[in-house]
Amino acid sequence: DQQVKQNSPSLSVQEGRISILNCDYTNSMFDYFLWYKKYPAEGPTFLISISSIKDKNEDGRFTVFLNKSAKHLSLHIVPSQPGDSAVYFCAAYSWGKLQFGAGTQVVVTP
Amino acid sequence: GAVVSQHPSRVICKSGTSVKIECRSLDFQATTMFWYRQFPKQSLMLMATSNEGSKATYEQGVEKDKFLINHASLTLSTLTVTSAHPEDSSFYICSATRDQYNEQFFGPGTRLTVL
């Protein structure tokens, strides 16, 4: 049962524009959410996180928004850069374990 | 800081053989390590949680006799795929946590191909 869902398998965005990645979850026990970036044949690297007691966290070009009532979070990247092209995974924490979404492939075009 | 390494990065083996994958935390002590498996274009699936000095906790559906996990020290966990079959071919990734932090640091992964 997939408790963390990323319904958009891919996203294409022009360089300089905003990338918005979405993630939905079903388990209300999740208390911490993270976004990871992953290149092919490499492990994920941590991008940004947010606690369930917050609704926004910002770090440079990356901002994560959490809407607990809708069980929805999003990652905004602005401005998008060519180096941002990768797969982005949403993950949620519960009882010491991470559950990942299926990922969204982002392609930033010139 | 917080670097996790895996060895080997890729391995090709014959069906029926066993393969060992090492996961090391290079600059911190990791009381907990996790092993994940990722199929192409799919999510990372947690296989097991490994705590130093104790038996690993396996997720439902993961055969503990097939995927042997040993967390021998605070910086090393190993995953042994026993009697590997082609369906075990996958990308295996480990991660490690530092004390009192939620963040997991991931290794670069190991691509296993079973012929």
Asked if residue A103 has pLDDT above 60, the reply is yes
pLDDT score recorded for residue B81: 97
Residue A14 pLDDT grade (very low, low, confident, very high; cuts 50, 70, 90): very high
Q: What is the pLDDT of residues A27-40, one digit of tens each?
A: 998 989 999 999 98
Q: Nearest chain A Cα to B39, which residue?
A: A102
Cβ-Cβ contacts under 8 Å between A and B: the total is: 52
Q: Please give the backbone phi and psi of residue A82, each rounded to the nearest 5 degrees, phi first.
A: -55, -35
pLDDT score recorded for residue A98: 87
pLDDT score recorded for residue A56: 97
Q: What is the mean pLDDT of each run of 10 residues along chain B (115 residues)?
A: 90 96 93 90 89 88 94 92 95 86 84 95
Contact B95/A43, CB-based, under 8 Å?
yes
pLDDT score recorded for residue B35: 96
pLDDT score recorded for residue A22: 98
Residues of B in contact with A52 (CB under 8 A): none
| Encoded tokens for B24 | 């090391």
Residues of B in contact with A102 (CB under 8 A): 41-43
Interface of B with A in 17-46 (CB under 8 A): 32, 34, 41-46
Within a 13 Å sphere around the CA of B37, how many CA atoms are in the beta-carbon half? 16
Selecting from B41, B45, B109 the residue whose C-beta is nearest the C-beta of A43 gives B109
Residues of A in contact with B32 (CB under 8 A): 96
* Residue (of A104, A92, A85, A74) closest to A34 by Cα position: A92
State whether residue A49 sits within 8 Å of chain B by CB. Answer: yes
- DSSP state letter for B40: T
Q: What is the pLDDT of residues A69-101, one digit of tens each?
A: 999 999 999 999 999 999 999 999 887 788 999
Q: Do B108 and B9 meet the contact criterion of CB atoms below 8 Å apart?
A: yes
